[in-house]
Structure 1
Amino acid sequence: MNVNNPMAVLRDMAEEKLTETTCALGAVQQKLQEAVDQREQLYLYEQEYHSSLRQGMAGGMSVADLVNHQMFILSLNQVVKQHESHVSSCEKVVDKTKDKWIQKKQRLNAFETLINRREMAQALVESRQEQKLMDEFAQRAGQQREML
């Protein structure tokens, strides 16, 4: 494709934007995965602390320790809720970036389709011109045979 062709330039620009959006999508997906992993770690920590509290209560825990455990569990619950909000916002960012990626991909596909159609139309014109030349050559050859 000719670099001076405006469609090729637009397609190249669309391809660059798609590449940028792909990188951005990868980055936000990685942040989401990290947030999900952290959420799982918080859940595990919360379960371990609940288990520790149950074992302590069964083994005869002091009132002060019981209150401290319960206060810590309440604080941990708040952290888990806040982190759920963080995971949710990360998911929204990923969804928006996916939508943006889809738009960029569709734009690139549109330019590629237009370029392909133009190339096909150009090839058809060239094929018709070639056929016309062949027909003229055959006609001249036939006329020359008749003259002989």
Structure 2
Amino acid sequence: MSSIKLELTWPNLRKTGYEITSQPTPAYNCIAWAAGVTDRPWWPIDQKPYYWPLEPRIKSLQSFIKAFEQLGYEICSNSDLEPNLEKVAIYVDEDGEPTHMARQLTTGQWTSKCGDWEDISHTLEGLAGEFYGEVSIFMKRPLANQLES
């Protein structure tokens, strides 16, 4: 995907800045990327190739929170970069349903997989808007579980 398509889908990216950090691939999606997985997409549907770490498979904010709690995350109050912690952010639409996740890098920037498109580094505001909605929840876990970015 080109920068033009990214910026048309997420107009805030042009204003807030971003960097493409991978080639496009359908091998994983944003939820898997936030979890540190690059060999299969995660989504709470019972359809191959999608994986979900818990049952029942429900597309709800609570289900996403529980899935990441199984990875050692807990809810936190903000996106501030904190020593020895890594964070994820869950975006939701106007109905409160999850649409996207991002993972914080050690630089304080965020990284996302944009569907089947590229991974990018960005600000949280860069992906906010009509397509993904707004960040609703932040979660954190000890840096000992830090994933390669």
TM-score (norm 2): 0.18
Larger-gyration structure (1/2): 1
| Structure with larger RCO (C-alpha < 8 A, sep 6+) | 1
Q: Per residue, is there more strand in 1 or in 2? A: 2
Greater percentage in helix: 1
TM-score by length of 1: 0.18
